[in-house]
Structure 1
Amino acid sequence: MADRVQTLEVKSAVESVNALPRNGNHDRDFDYEKKGLDDVEDIDSIEIDIQESDNDDDPAYTVIPQIVRELVDFDDDQTMPVITWRFFLLSGTLTALGAWLTQMGFFRTTYIPYSIYFVQIASLYFGRILASSLPHKTIGFGKFSFELNPGPFSIKEHVAIVLAANTGATNNLGDYVLAPLQIFYNEPMNGWLAILFMLSCVLIGFSFASFARVFLIENPNTPFPIALQQVTVFNAMRKSTQDDATAAKRQMKVFWWTILGFFLWQFLPEASSGLGGAGFLTVTLDWSNIGSQCVYYPYWTQVNIFAAFVVSAWIIIPAAFFTNAWGSSLYPIQSQSLYLRNGSIYPTAELLTADNGLNETLFAEIGPPMMSAQLRWNYFAAYVAYIGSFVGCALFQGPTLLKSFKAYRQAKPTSNDKLTEIIHQYPPVPLWWNLALFVLPLIVLVVLTAKGVLYMPIYMLFIGLVIGAVIVLPMAYIYSVSGYQMQVGYFNELFYGYAIDLGGSRHPVGALSYRVISGQCWYEAQSMLADMKLGHYFHIPPRKVLFAQIWGICIGVPVNYATILWVCQTKGDVLRGLATDPNRQWTGQTVISLNNQSISFALVGPKRLFADPIYTPMLYGFLVGAAVPCILYMLHRRWPKARFDLWSVPVFSDSFENFYGNISVYIFTLFILGSVNHLWIKRYHFQFWKRYAYLWSAAADTGYNFNLLIVFIAFSAAKTIPMANWWGNNPESVERCFHVPTQGIAS
């Protein structure tokens, strides 16, 4: 076919969170947004060089968004090896390293997750070294034998290693329970029980994800933006080694230079970067505050995030503080701590009795805890986001999901796209595998709960699992089209606070255990689904995708536990507030916040809390979350071209919920970079954007992570070595906005 240049209306690769068919036909929910990228901006004038092919009129291809068709290879070699001994060696090593680094981030103030692109780079080069240097020889005997050199290092083997690391090289939400137990209550959990607890919550999440596969993985309209970014890097890396791959080699040159540049640059802002305040028009040069979401987040997502930040940090919170709403002038404007009505710190430890109950006498004397203006609004927004997710998904995507469910029940294909046709050539994951992944961990959790290890009644275990299962589909759908991960913690603790009145210990750690069980299952399911989509793009057999993920978590969890233990033992005084980290990085802000929240909603309880009129407005968040999506739905039906479907209640409210007291300087910079990326580079230089945008952002994250690793090893692994004082920092604090009072920076 001859080359042609056609003008594409680059609308949305997928529907937004609140998508609605313009023609009212539920069978064609996404038909009008098949060609390009998921953005708000109208880019009717983009001219893109496209190679005509015989697939242009094939419905199996045209049903897939254009950007996916351009990035994904539709050829498949079913003989290609996937799980080899090289897979076990490389994935095990790289996953353990990532689990250690990421788990440390749980206790830090600023942090970007362990770069999976480092795993892609390292595994590619080490894999090829092993393939080229080892002899072709069989090791072992019978069923216990394997090929020392199974041949060339294949793309599927490469992707499987990354899938294992994606799953295992993370922190585990078990830190919600293990860290507070050791730091605040001096009751560390037995190591073996801790590992079983962490593993069980993750594996149940695996089973939830497998059941949701048919709705999100075999759906061409749920691209998972982060998976597409990884596809771009895989393609560039592997093509760059070909002799005639000039463009790919140029891509990799940009990739390596970007890694080097960010690795060297990050030494400066790592030791002198602004943190707190309202972030009003603040520009940051610290990549740890920004991250690659400025590239891979759809622009409509970034607009919602920035709008939420402006309304929250620049308007409502200052207004509440300076008008003394709820007595806010007595407390720091941005803080996660709890206070008495006179502004002094709330005596949380004294409220807990020896039998894990509430000290009623003391509570009657001091009353419910007071919160900062921001924390109050955070709770309100969290309730809006939670209900808004369900209502928005039901209104805009209900018909499509219902159709997929009916097709699944009738054993019919849910999609006729080419990628799904390819993957259906491989055996699916058997139902009994999913059942085993659910039942066996459930038995472990039942035993731990019954023995009192988790400080919560056993009926809350089952309620938590049910709620975790229910939220997987609507919230994972949001993630699949926006790249934005919803938070569910605030609602979980509120629900636990009411439900615990049925009976059982009110120990604050019980609420945290509930949050882990109901939350970890959901978060893990979401992460697994994104990895399944990556395997889907590279035609990895579903059974081997699941095996790689389980292997990764079996490596990662023990490392997570060892890291939690090490940090609590070596940084305990800092985390308890008995010592100060001059760089304000080892603040343990997350641990402190979790403990305070669990005291408010488990020990004190929402009934006592909301009995005070100043807390009543929080509960109206549920009403707002139910009403606003309905209004947007009606507006979108009336004026579809106005794109009210992109006014995302869940993303806006969830972003509003974020705590900006410690890290507020990044939002304005993130929005500037995102606008330049989407409104200029992608609009007017699309071919350049397609070739380099994902690659550059991945390299930036990788360079930062290399820097973080070196800084940790060199300056704090064995002995903490403070950075030298110079004009860019301060011996007391890295914060440069000296006009911001100390009490205005979150504690």
Structure 2
Amino acid sequence: MDDDHEINAPLITTHRSTTNHATTSGDISPSPAGENSPIEQVALTVPVTDDPSLPTFTFRTWILGTLACVVLSFLNQFFGFRREPLSVTAISAQIAVLPLGHLMASTVTDRVFFRGKRWEFTLNPGRFNVKEHVLITIFASSGAASVYAIHFVTAVKVFYRKDMTAVVALLVVVTTQVLGFGWAGVFRRYLVEPAAMWWPQNLVQVSLFRALHEKEERPKGGLTRNQFFLIAFICSFAYYVFPGYLFPMLSSLSWVCWIFPTSVLAHQLGSGLHGLGVGAVGLDWSTICAYLGSPLASPWFATANVAAGFGIFMYVIMPIAYWLNLYNARRFPIFSDGLFMSDGEKYNISSIMDSKFHLDMEAYHRQGPLYLSTMFAMVYGIGFACLSATLVHVFLFHGSEIMQLSKSAFQDKKIDIHTKIMRKYYKHVPEWWFVCILLFTIMATVFICEYYTDQLQLPWWGVILACVVAILFTLPVGILRATTNQAPSLNIITEFIIGYIRPGYPVGVMLFKVYGNVSMKQAVFFLQDFKLGHYMKIPPRAMFMAQVLGTLVSALVHLVTMWWLMNTVPNFCDKELLPQGSPWTCPGDHVFYDSSVIWGLIGPRRIFGDLGHYSAINWFFLAGAIAPFLVWLAHKAFPEKEWIRLITVPVLLGALSELPPATAVNYSSWILVGFASGFVAYRYHRGWWSRHNYVLSGALDAGLAFMGVLLYLCLGMQHISLDWWGSDSDGCSLASCPTAPGVKSEGCPLY
């Protein structure tokens, strides 16, 4: 499925602390004694004190914030095209910039320029403080966020081989990133200021900020957090030379294939990259966190649900569907995101398109209907089920809570001490700033789509409809994310809407999905950052500047990185022409392209509708709606059994939305590490976990990222590679072979 599906995670619980420590010696407490947030997790994590005199948007903020944004944007886009994509989180930058901030504070001149004048400023206002650190992290988070429109540009340029100028690509990327910012500002009063909207994900970063800025002495026989980060970073940096260059097979050790080198069945079962991944494990951090994020940041509650969903789908549903030959499954690879003809041959997409990139109906009927591997079709069914399951689960288990929280947000808007502090000491951002951005971006988007209609295929009404869909869902999705940490994706909804209204226009359908889905996601992303700044008492206008600038810089760097790789890597994203072991397979972009063919070029009616042979997949909508209801009934019947309530169907199903491009080894390795961290370490070594768990995650991300880029610059650009047994992907060459009688495939035995 498309890579913007998100795993619905449970509420994040935080460690209890007896006091809320002050962040600086000059903290003030304008609240009545004992006043705190009514949300327990917030009260135990977020300090209720503030020092408004601390400088925020300083020279250090500009330099380190821009640097962090550029580096994370480059790294995330650079690794996003690789076989095992890596998302370098803002937590990595949050930790990495701390020593740089202190270094600048101790070395940069503190001379005051234009003293006594209106433009008076200094490059060094004193010691590096937590508010500068927060703003730098906000910059960095803009770079850490994926720019989904890059998939659109890659699909058009690389897969459809359609002409698109750099100017048009830049305009599309920038408008999709900025569009959601407009209505995010409008919804601040409902999703940021009320105490009920508490955004649990932010508490992890708040905890880390406090850990990094509170004074820490090295424990006897132990390490400080900074020392631990440095050691883990060096180890990660040094180790990645093995899976990244010397021994790529470490990314997926599929030992079952080695025992039975000539057995198709063994390869189908054992391959971690092209099969069910029985026993496969990856000793590569990029394999572990490529699609599901860092398992070290996942509570065991969420990890267990992911493990259950993956196990049921991969080891129960998939084998039954394949070996019962459901939808002629045995004509196709057991695990593939490819598009096929009825005889198992690869579908020739270019042959059913005319010169204007529309569907040629005569050619389509001549070539025949499009077929999916049973795994791919089932994953779409799981996506349908997840959408309905999320709505039903939230209604049953959180309906009354959300109604109360919504009433609080819309009516009395009960505020807590944090909002009181922000209102008392800092100027708010005028709403008209956001409205202007919103109106300007919509008008610019309409103009771009109309002026470049031959390249984009999306009429003006499509832009307006996409905006309406995104705006309608931003508030309910925002409430869900801010209170329950769960939120459905709009991917399927946007694809269904435009696919039925305007089939046969793949580029226009892709662009509608990008504008409709990503602008909502960006709005929620901005609101989450607003709340982080709210908790850390960052002046709203400084937050506004950091977010706008970070978004623009991130969009530009992502696009430049993509353009550079596209023009420097031979056969970029072409799996058939790339040399064996090449990492530049662009798995997420392949899935995005396949989706554009299914929903755009051919259209959902000819695949999942009355004209398609996968219409039965629509029953997954009903199954997804029933599943949470059964769990709810079981919980009501046996209220004493708390484990029943922990069965969260949206999490269980939502985890599978990354299949494909994610593979079995990504899940199995992620689950093992998540078990070690969230269950073993958290339960039996709580002290170590609380001090080092998140720091270790950031260090592993950072070390891998820097070594990966170094390997590419020193060896990849010179096309220096190794060719030996350890360079093979996973040694399971027969995993993708069909097993239906009479179906031929190169390199495969004929049944």
TM-score range, shorter chain: 0.7 to 0.9
CA offset at residue 121 of structure 1?
Answer: 3.8
Aligned equivalent of 1:492, options 488, 491, 494: 494
- Find out whether 1:433 has 2:429 as its counterpart: no
- Asked whether the equivalents of residues 8 and 487 of structure 2 are also in contact (C-alpha less than 8 Å), the reply is no
Task: Report how far residue 517 of structure 1 moved.
Answer: 0.3
1:447 CA drift (Å): 0.7
Spell out, residue by residue over 1:447-481, the C-alpha distance to the aligned partner (whole angstroms, 9 max, x if none): 11222142123222222222222333454556557
Alignment of 1:516-555 (within 5 A): 516-555=514-553
**Whole-Å separation in 2 of the counterparts to 1:223 and 1:719:** 50
1:111 aligned partner: 85
Structure 1 position 735 matched with structure 2 position 730:
yes
Aligned to 1:719: 718
Q: Which amino acid aligns with 1:493?
A: E
Q: For 2:447, give the aligned amino acid.
A: V
Which residue identity is paired with 2:377?
A: R
2:171 to 196, 209, 224: 196
2:232 and 2:696 in contact (8 A); partners too: yes
CA contact (8 A) 2:352 2:359 kept: yes
Aligned to 2:61: 87
Mapped to 1, the partners of 2:440 and 2:222 lie a distance apart of 46
Is 1:255 the counterpart of 2:201 in the alignment? no
Checking the alignment, whether the CA contact within 8 Å between 1:297 and 1:482 is kept in structure 2 is no
Alignment of 1:334-345 (within 5 A): 334-345=335-346
Residues 383 and 491, structure 1, Cα contact 8 Å, conserved in 2: no
Are 2:324 and 1:323 equivalent residues in the alignment? yes
Aligned partner of residue 432 in structure 2, secondary structure: helix
Q: Distance in 2 between matches of 1:331 and 1:243?
A: 60
The amino acid that maps onto 2:330 is: S
The one-letter amino acid paired with 2:387 is Y
CA positional deviation for 1:483: 6.5
Q: 1:577 to 1:739 in 2, by over 3 A?
A: closer
Alignment of 1:442-591 (within 5 A): 442-451=442-451, 452=453, 453-476=455-478, 479=481, 487-500=489-502, 506-571=504-569, 573-577=571-575, 579-591=577-589
Partner of 1:419: 418
Q: What is the alpha-carbon distance in structure 1 between the residues aligned to residue 218 and residue 144 of structure 2? A: 35
Post-superposition CA distance 1:613-636 (Å, at most 9, x none): 631122122223333334434444
Superposition CA RMSD, Å: 3.3
Give the % identical residues: 24
TM-score after normalising by structure 2: 0.84
2:394 match? 393
For residue 157 of structure 1, report the CA deviation from its aligned partner. 0.8
Select 1:149's aligned residue among 99, 124, 130: 124
Is the CA contact 1:63–1:220 (under 8 Å) kept in the aligned structure 2?
yes
What is the match of residue 620 of structure 1? 619
SS at match of 1:358: coil
Aligned counterparts of 1:249 and 1:63: Cα–Cα separation in 2: 36
- Mapped partners of 1:393, 1:480: distance in 2: 13
Aligned counterpart, 1:101:
75
Q: Contact between 1:110 and 1:663, CA under 8 Å: does it hold in 2? A: no
CA contact 1:167–1:527 (8 Å) conserved in 2: no
CA distance in 1, matches of 2:722, 2:279: 28
Cα deviation, residue 563, structure 1: 1.4
Q: Is the 8 A contact 1:95 1:164 kept in 2?
A: yes
Relative to 1, partners in 2 of residues 1:484 and 1:695: Cα closer, same or farther, differing over 3 Å? farther
Q: d(CA) in 1 for partners of 2:655 and 2:399?
A: 24
Task: Tell me the amino acid that sits aligned with residue 681 of structure 1.
Answer: A
TM-score computed with the length of structure 1 as normaliser: 0.84
- Compute the displacement of 1:712 (Å): 2.4
Residue 269 of structure 1 corresponds to which residue in structure 2? 243
Work out whether residues 87 and 160 of structure 1, in 8 Å CA contact, stay in contact via their aligned partners in 2: yes
Could you report, residue by residue, the CA deviation over 1:538-572 in whole angstroms, capped at 9, with x for unpaired residues? 22123322221111112111111211211222236
CA contact (8 A) 2:376 2:660 kept: no
CA contact (8 A) 1:336 1:593 kept: yes
Of stretches 601-610 and 135-144 in structure 1, the one that deviates more from structure 2 is 135-144
Does the C-alpha gap of structure 1 residues 211 and 632 become closer, same or farther in structure 2, counting only changes over 3 Å? farther
Aligned CA distance change for structure 1 residues 108 and 482 (closer, same or farther; 3 Å)? farther
Q: Aligned runs of 1:137-216 on 2, under 5 Å? A: 137-139=111-113, 144-214=119-189, 216=191
Equivalent-residue separation in structure 1 for 2:193 and 2:688 (angstroms): 30
- 1:602 aligned to 600, 603, 606, which one? 600
Give structure 1 stretches of 5+ with no counterpart.
1-15, 20-32, 39-47
Change (3 A) 1:485 1:268: farther
1: CA distance between counterparts of 2:92 and 2:468? 37
Native 8 Å contact 2:200 2:485 kept in 1:
yes
> Is structure 2 residue 133 aligned with structure 1 residue 132?
no
- Relative distance call for 1:569 and 1:338 in structure 2 (3 A) is same
CA shift for structure 1 position 53: 11
- Contact 1:137/1:147 (CA < 8 Å) preserved in 2? yes
Q: Distance in 2 between matches of 1:51 and 1:595?
A: 52
Q: Which amino acid aligns with 1:522?
A: M
Q: Which residue of 1 aligns with 2:25?
A: none
Counterparts in 2 of 1:701 and 1:71: CA distance versus 1, 3 Å: farther
Distance 1:628 1:353, change over 3 A: same
Deviations 1:624-680 (A, max 9, x none): 333333443444444444344433232222222321565321322322332233333
Q: Is the 8 A contact 2:21 2:47 kept in 1?
A: no
Following superposition, the deviation at residue 160 of structure 1 comes to: 0.1
Note closer, same or farther for the CA distance 1:562–1:244 as it changes in structure 2 (3 Å cut): closer
**Aligned residues between the structures:** 693
Separation (CA, whole Å) in 2 of partners of 1:60 and 1:421:
11
| Distance (whole Å) between structure 1 residues aligned to residue 670 and residue 326 of structure 2 | 31
1:168-216: CA deviation from partner (whole Å, max 9, x where unpaired): 3444122122112211333343323322222222222223433444555
Aligned equivalents of 1:482 and 1:284: distance in 2? 32
2:667 alignment partner in structure 1: 667
Report the alpha carbon displacement of residue 706 of structure 1 after superposing the two structures with TM.
Answer: 2.5
Aligned to 1:11: none
* 1:341-394 Cα shifts (integer Å, max 9, x gaps): 111111211111124332111222233200001110111111122233333333
